[in-house]
Structure 1
């Protein structure tokens, strides 16, 4: 019986275009060898460390947000162990992108027509070929078989995350490995929610690009020179990320220990390291419903789930009609089971319900019309703690407000 696998050929297998190494060879297990092959390099690599990618065609039966989240997660596996940085650029044309990702069916326009075979409907199994990828010198693009039963974050169907992580390895220049637990072994493995790179995968990709250690050393030197949050206590923004109070200041972010006294070990960290595309200082941070975080900077904003986000800028005017650029602060308040969201700019405050559904035509009110006791010339940051109390900050001062009366 044939096993579901990647369509890229194994090292040493006959091929008409050895460097591209795409085709329809299907087998249940990798070819036996007297000497066990470990990481195998295809021979080409990217000459830059900043690589752009997009999904130009999504599967028809899955929400795009779930597919984007899984493929973003797959790219992060490889960026964590190399100096490579992957940037999601959905608005660029496919011809302008380093790695273009598509879900296609059958003969889908590749040279030599590297057909997909679809799902085996008779016994509800995967088809023999799930996906294939081009090596760097051939463009790095990745194609998934649209007709497979794809899924995200579940044992049902074929995991977008696992297959994407494998194909990205090919896009970076890795061939198949015979190490059974390696991400680059050619046979689709059983689903595991925390599927990660094997040391064999890491050894292979670092042979091409080196490790991230040098970049981390540089970051650590920058962090050593970060201003202590308590010595210079002004704050750019505050969010509740992963149920933890998170302060943003200049190029860094800090997590506060659970009792609220002191900085959590391992912080500060560079904002740009964990919030892709954002480089501080930021203007404001807004956490909505404890799971979505919006980071505002100039005339743009980013939306993240934890630190996983859409990874590209949107204009504030695209979603928040009437809200000016360079806002001062933002937060969402919960009271009696209802959520209210506020955006501050100078003495003006806009109030609405959900940041994803910003109403048209709302007019701002003055700060003292809503929040009694806050400075009339604006604030720097604001958030609601677990105690439901509201804390507002301006330079070295802070104010605590009652969430029922909105008074200091």
Structure 2
């Protein structure tokens, strides 16, 4: 139940899908289903021009990029159907998109439960609403966090009258698809929307590949009006969670988000962002985890089942490697860091942690073990660093946990952006907004 999925009930989706496939195979018109589902009647809109409104959005995401995500999600459906969408300047709008915390008057069964589980749900025509969990960790790129574009496009499909599809790679599968390089919509998605609204009258179907939607942070240049400071990449990691963090022997912090990194000096001054490949050639566009080892003075990067090792900017011979198969390292680790008492790298993945030999990149004997060994450190953290004060700081979303390596327990918690000035987020306006 904790696996991220759509919260719309799909009890009859397989039945309706089977009826539609049988009808298409026989050349008959599919029978319209009018059974009650999800507190209302399914059906379709009886017009082809629809308006939408983004009511609110997560505080840590820039408004202009979120609006681009929403527009792209609607364009995805209009490119393959007879529908046309435009953003309404205010009420009323046919379709409303809203982010909520917990119970939001949709009934106890539809209350949002924070990270994981049901990320969103929507109502079929003609209520015209889609709701998203505001406590989820949303992302505008292919890095850590839930991809907002994929979830947005899926829920919009429901507002247009589409039920869940049993096809595994369909956008309308109840479990949200990953945004790969292939087409976002499957053949089943296209057939379903055209069954309701017909083919696009303005030309051939425009099928869009997923690689076009990998990085909405880079789309801001297409908007004319500049936004407030939250859209400024120079402090972007302060307004959001980051993908990874590490610290070198000179106490320089390296903070990673998407395809960029920032360097924060010992005095708390941040510089960046800079592209990852500028300093570390051949790295992927996003990272799962990063660590600097005090043992050999090298950087270690992890993405999927592969790992990279650099001395400065020079990639070691034989890298990247498939560390998940050769060294039993976990795929898509949550974080990595160098733990001084063990003189080894430590990787966290879900409820387990792994101690890794840097030279062989093999998991040490008797590991993995439970994260409970770490006395209050949360699972699924973004990253961790050992600060010069001797404590290890763990990070997840906008929170930090201060860990005492001698007592092996967490001794303090809080919000890192306003409280830990050494992370480079000391601007008064920013601290007030995040706090």
The reply to whether TM is greater than 0.5 is no
Greater Rg over alpha carbons, structure:
1
Provide the TM-score with structure 1 as the length reference.
Answer: 0.43
The structure in which a higher percent of residues are helix is 2
Greater relative contact order structure (CA < 8 Å, 6+ sep):
1
Provide the TM-score with structure 2 as the length reference.
Answer: 0.41
